[in-house]
Structure 1
Amino acid sequence: MEHTPDAYELADLELLLSGAFQPLSGFLGHDDLHTVTERGTLADGTPWPAPVTLRLPTDVSPGSPGSPGSPGSPGDEVTLLDPEGVPLAVLTVTEHEPDGLTAGPVRGLGAPEHGPFARLHRTPAQVREALGGRPALVVTMRGPLDDLTEITATAKELDAVIVLLPLSYGEPGPSVVRAALRARDHLPEGTLVVPVPLAPREEPEIDLELREHVATAYGATEHLAGPEPVRIPGPPHRRGLVVFFTGLSGSGKSTVARGLRDALLELGTRTVTYLDGDVVRALLSKGLTFSKADRDLNIRRIGFVAAEAARHGGLAICAPIAPYEATRAEVRELVESVGADFLLVHVSTPLEECERRDRKGLYAKARAGLIPEFTGVSDPYEEPDDAGLVIDTTHLSIEAAVSQVLGALRAGGWVR
């Protein structure tokens, strides 16, 4: 079995493989999680502050435990891939739970060879070898170092080499590494900069304790935790935004979305990307069927493209049916993970009105059994309860509907 972990799990995987999470050599199971949560130790009594876990999605979870060849059995293996499909490691399963939690040791298949500042990456063993037994002042950073005086004085007092560990997880990662490189130019000669993709933990105390564990792995005689970054988001009209329309076929969502695109182009204040469901189907998702799995994949592809446009400050408009709550939530999370905003617009025109319109004749074909799994007829539409705007076009002109969406964008500050 092969599986691509999410970004958080991939970061933990890299630290497991490098030895930065010593004494951990793999992902934790339920027994370990209980003791970490209750007492701050692993099942064998080793102190450890935070869960390091891997979950397989339920739709790709292995079969019943004990079946030959099933990764649900102890001793079976799962190959862990990076987002480009390159094998990174093999997980030997020791525990697999129905909720997807999968535990076991990991074995590396090769060091990551790409990504920003890959040339700076070193394992803890490589750093300790470079130190050659000398004392080390290790500084972990999640943001710029405002004052280098304490670092310089402490290093002088200890006669120590300074090792800056910019914690390079996620979107702010490259900027933290750049800050470390700038700081190195003002620190004593021989200062090392080693990016470490340690994902932040929610509890500040746990995050600090985990940073100390990592610093120790990198040879710290003493550890200093740099200040947390203060991230001030830009004004809404400069932030990326995804306006995501959802509704039944024939609800008017595509027409309203096109009207919004045209209105924004006329205003000329935002860079606009328009991703209509039918157009995407003909190009980005050509060859996909209308099965639930393929429909979900289609929405994920739309979400990925929209998030990339929004990542760089653009405004993306999407208009798929998107009938499933879980998939819409995935898109929202994807967009927000790149620092952009997400506005869900539910075009709530009732099924009866959509079917009365039936401009494409799809409902008639679905009622005749010619289109299987058709949303609203033979497959459900899960109405959102988290929409930022709800519009029923039954008795509303397109111009009025577009005005309502523009009003929401202006009220949110996304359009001036």
Structure 2
Amino acid sequence: MLTPHGGVLQDLIERDVSIKGELLKEAATLKSINLTDRQLCDLELILNGGFSPLTGFLTQKDYDSVVSEMRLADGTVWTIPITLDLNEETASSLQPKERIVLRDPRDGASLAILTVADVYKPNKQVEAKKVFRGDPEHPAVRYLYDTAGDFYVGGSLQAIHLPKHYDYTELRKTPAQLRSEFLYRHWEKVVAFQTRNPMHRAHRELTVRAAKDKLANLLIHPVVGLTKPGDIDHHTRVKVYQEIIKKYPNGMAKLSLLPLAMRMAGDREAVWHSIIRKNYGATHFIVGRDHAGPGSNSQGVPFYGPYDAQDLVEKFASELEIQLVPFRMKEIERWY
């Protein structure tokens, strides 16, 4: 099994379990922020170690480096800015070293305490161009301009507990849980498969072939956080996954759900997905045609080239360590 990205699985829930009571008491005295749906997904993956080596939301130094260089300020490969965006009124009320509690907007539960490192105004035009290639029709660019706050707050987190889920709880495994299960099952090599769409017979055939080629087991790891507007809801998709997993050879595959908020960032997102799956214990990652791309704009122009994602993952291969499993079959429709 590969070492987590950055060398250590940053499981903040486990790290802070001994001070959870103290944090809860402190949280009752602090200024609070109700998270957006995307921030909630991001927070969950920071707290459970899925975003290792991150231990908080990006400071301006890390943010600028990720946007321009696809690396954190310390040089570690990281391609998507994970930011806590706020409106001007809220952001202007915060000071460096101040501690604020981050709350689940659904029930008001205290999830974590953020120690503010800095508050900064990003250049959204640069972020849109560098991270998402700038097309105003790209869903992430639209989100950036129409939904995201104009200020970002960076800082480190202390964990209280993960957001609660009331559906498919038995399928929502953390990185530590999956890693432990792979060790228990003696799964030395694991091929991870990303999808945001329903799976069908062709996907089963492709994933089985990939596992057999690598003499590995399979992690079917669909996204159940935010995806592309208009995508099929996750409840419908999970029912499909639960049925198709029964069609795999006995003992070959494991289904687990990933609470990721996708950005549909094509090549950068493919590298990000690779890092996340490495943190979850995978040794190989399938990247197909137009991986994590949102298709084409209203003029019919693709946002990304069909194999841009594979090329960028290959560029960082030695640093990512997780092995790319490329699919270049044009007759198979996009599933990611």
CA distance in 2, matches of 1:165, 1:141: 7
Q: Pick closer, same or farther for the CA change 1:221–1:22 going to 2, 3 Å.
A: same
The yes-or-no answer on 1:92 pairing with 2:115 is yes
Equivalent AA in structure 2 for residue 198 of structure 1: L
Which secondary structure does the structure 2 equivalent of 1:198 belong to? coil
Q: Which moved more, 1:133-142 or 1:218-227?
A: 218-227
Equivalent AA in structure 1 for residue 32 of structure 2: E
Equivalent AA in structure 1 for residue 114 of structure 2: L
Aligned to 2:166: 115
CA distance in 1, matches of 2:209, 2:271: 24
Equivalent of 2:263 in 195, 201, 211 = 201
Which secondary structure does the structure 2 equivalent of 1:61 belong to? helix
* TM-score normalized with structure 1 length: 0.50
Identity across matched positions, percent: 28
Q: Pick closer, same or farther for the CA change 1:230–1:59 going to 2, 3 Å.
A: closer
CA distance in 2, matches of 1:213, 1:188: 27
- Structure 2 unmatched ranges of 5 or more: 1-30, 122-149, 227-231, 295-336
Equivalent AA in structure 2 for residue 87 of structure 1: S
Aligned to 1:125: 176
Equivalent AA in structure 2 for residue 182 of structure 1: E
CA distance in 2, matches of 1:116, 1:226: 29
* Aligned-CA RMSD value: 2.4
Please list the CA deviations of residues 124-166 of structure 1 after superposition, one character each: whole Å capped at 9, or x if unmatched: 1110110015211111111123311121122223332211111
CA distance in 2, matches of 1:187, 1:229: 25
CA distance in 1, matches of 2:288, 2:221: 10
The yes-or-no answer on 1:81 pairing with 2:103 is yes
Aligned to 1:153: 209
CA distance in 1, matches of 2:244, 2:55: 33
1:48 deviates by 0.4
Structure of larger gyration radius: 1
- What does residue range 272-311 of structure 1 map to in structure 2 within 5 Å? none
Which secondary structure does the structure 1 equivalent of 2:270 belong to? helix
- Structure 1 unmatched ranges of 5 or more: 64-70, 232-416
* TM-score normalized with structure 2 length: 0.61
1:39 deviates by 1.0
Equivalent AA in structure 1 for residue 211 of structure 2: A
1:95 deviates by 1.2
CA distance in 2, matches of 1:230, 1:30: 27
Q: Pick closer, same or farther for the CA change 1:34–1:161 going to 2, 3 Å.
A: same
Aligned to 1:248: none
1:57 deviates by 2.6
Q: Which moved more, 1:185-194 or 1:82-91?
A: 185-194
Please list the CA deviations of residues 18-65 of structure 1 after superposition, one character each: whole Å capped at 9, or x if unmatched: 1111111110022112111111101111110110000233233353xx
Higher relative contact order (CA 8 A, sep 6+): 2
CA distance in 2, matches of 1:151, 1:48: 26
Which secondary structure does the structure 2 equivalent of 1:110 belong to? coil
Aligned to 1:168: 224
